[in-house]
Amino acid sequence: MKAAILTVGTEILFGEITNTNTVYLSRRLNDIGIDVMYHYTVGDNPGRLAEIIETSLRDCDIVITTGGLGPTQDDMTKEIACQVMGDHLVMHDDILEFIRNRMLSYKTVMTENNVKQALLPSRCRVFYNDAGTAPGFALDRLRKGDNQSAERRQWIACLPGPPKEMTRMFERSVMPWLEELTEGCLVYREIRTFGIGESDLETKLLPVIDGQTDPTVATYAKNGECSVRVASKRNTREEAEKAVLGMIEKINGFVGEYIYSTEGEEYPFVVGNMLMSRGLTLSAAESCTGGMFGAALTDIAGISAVFDRSLVTYSNQAKMDELGVKPETLEEYGAVSEQTALEMAEGVRRKAGTDIGISVTGIAGPDGGTEEKHVGLVYIGLSCSDRCGGKTICRKIDRRLKDRQRNRRHAVLSMFDMIYRNV
């Protein structure tokens, strides 16, 4: 199946609201093997809305809309869906009762505007909204084929605009319905890698990418790392899973040294759970990342069992006071150096009494670099107790990139990679 995603609302075009619905729907449709062909955003204009739906249905089997289902006069998605799909609105008494009970639970007076929300296409499939009042629905039509094609059934699925309402409705009602429409069973896995660029990754995987049919293999670059998506669509889940696992084994043979997850987990989650499973405690000393490493770890439930602290020692004085970095080290080698990174890692591990101490110091940019130490230069120190190898090592990262945020994100990922590869 091919799909178009259409978000409705003038406020989105004005930039007053960030359109997160399209990102979410694209990912979830991709999960079940529905190809997203187009993204559209249209204001509260009935003519343009009808035109975009018709345009989408020239190439697509389904259009999914978000927004325009509310109680006000500018909410017109239902009316236009009926116009395009050849239906009309009728009162759905069960939906009206549902909305009335919902308003009572909100201790809000029900108005005629709210009654409008129970008007839905006569032959639609209704999706209840258990996070709001506006129901969603799906409506189909048969499109006559031309001389070269037969008739085909097309769908429009209209969902509410608020992300909380939309996502809950999609997961609980729309997703099961879409899985009924699609033939076969799709299974996919995301392999996550670090330390290799997308072009190099693709080159190494050409033996499995070239001539692929099923499973399919695709590479993606995002936020300083690369992913490989492996997907298979077979008659049964067991057949699809077997095909995907077989391909993952092949991919591991080509780029296994860069893989840190075959389940799509992010690096902080992988490392955090590794430490918790082994009972190894961790502390960190951050300079150029300003606490980003610690923030990433504390997103993980239960991480307090092993994560002790992350000290942001931005100035030289802080490095000396909090971590015991020697003044002569800073004077001779500078704050951004292997020697300082090692003393930072050793100092925070000693102070916290943890099994592992990790440190980072660098020049994030866009300014502040010199000919000798340019923007993008980062050192990561790792100090381990005897329980986890007893090593003290440093990694130098030399990206020569003047993007401050990208340098900081890459440094954080490199810290997790340092732990994952060496503990």
Last residue of a domain, one of 132, 162, 181: 181
Mean pLDDT of 127-134: 92
272 and 255 part of one domain: no
Match 């930039």 to its residue by tokens: 15
* Percent of residues, the chain, with pLDDT higher than 90: 81
The pLDDT value recorded for residue 147 is 55
Q: Is 80 exceeded by the pLDDT of residue 146?
A: no
The pLDDT value recorded for residue 148 is 56
Helix ranges (H only) for 106-197 are 112-116, 163-169, 175-181
Q: Which band of pLDDT confidence, cut at 50, 70 and 90, is reported for residue 64?
A: very high
Last residue of a domain, one of 153, 181, 209: 181
Which of 72-86, 298-312, 332-346 is predicted with the least confidence, judged by mean pLDDT? 72-86
15 and 152 part of one domain: yes
Q: Which band of pLDDT confidence, cut at 50, 70 and 90, is reported for residue 188?
A: confident
The pLDDT value recorded for residue 71 is 86
The pLDDT value recorded for residue 136 is 97
Q: Is 60 exceeded by the pLDDT of residue 168?
A: yes
Q: Is 90 exceeded by the pLDDT of residue 223?
A: no
Q: Which band of pLDDT confidence, cut at 50, 70 and 90, is reported for residue 400?
A: confident
**pLDDT single digits (tens) 340-361:** 999 999 999 999 999 999 999 9
The pLDDT value recorded for residue 149 is 59
The CATH number linked to 76 is 3.40.980.10
Give the CA distances from residue 14 to residues 18, 41, 121, in Å, rounded to whole numbers and listed in that order: 10, 11, 30
Mean pLDDT of 195-201: 95
Q: Is 90 exceeded by the pLDDT of residue 43?
A: yes
The pLDDT value recorded for residue 26 is 95
Q: Which two tokens stand for residue 308?
A: 């002790």
316 and 383 part of one domain: yes
The pLDDT value recorded for residue 152 is 86
Q: Which band of pLDDT confidence, cut at 50, 70 and 90, is reported for residue 265?
A: very high
161 and 194 part of one domain: no
Biggest distance spanned by C-alpha atoms of the chain: 84
Which of 94-103, 192-201, 264-273, 373-382 is predicted with the least confidence, judged by mean pLDDT? 94-103
Contact of 35 with 1, CB cutoff 8 Å = yes
Contact of 156 with 53, CB cutoff 8 Å = yes
Q: Is 70 exceeded by the pLDDT of residue 145?
A: no
320 and 386 part of one domain: yes
**pLDDT single digits (tens) 319-339:** 999 999 999 999 999 999 999
Contact of 58 with 68, CB cutoff 8 Å = no
Contact of 392 with 342, CB cutoff 8 Å = yes
Domains of the chain: total: 3
> What is the reported pTM?
0.79
193 and 177 part of one domain: no
175 and 227 part of one domain: no
Q: Which band of pLDDT confidence, cut at 50, 70 and 90, is reported for residue 150?
A: low
Q: Is 90 exceeded by the pLDDT of residue 184?
A: no
Contact of 205 with 251, CB cutoff 8 Å = yes
Q: Which band of pLDDT confidence, cut at 50, 70 and 90, is reported for residue 70?
A: confident
Q: Which band of pLDDT confidence, cut at 50, 70 and 90, is reported for residue 109?
A: confident
359 and 277 part of one domain: yes
Instruction: Indicate the pairing of strand 259-261 with strand 282-286.
Output: unpaired
Q: Which two tokens stand for residue 47?
A: 């003519």
The pLDDT value recorded for residue 222 is 84
212 and 175 part of one domain: no
The pLDDT value recorded for residue 55 is 96
Q: What is the mean pLDDT of the chain?
A: 94
**pLDDT single digits (tens) 10-20:** 999 999 999 99
Range of the structural domain that residue 227 is part of: 185-261
The CATH number linked to 221 is 3.30.70.2860
Mean pLDDT of 193-219: 93
Mean pLDDT of 218-243: 91
The pLDDT value recorded for residue 114 is 84
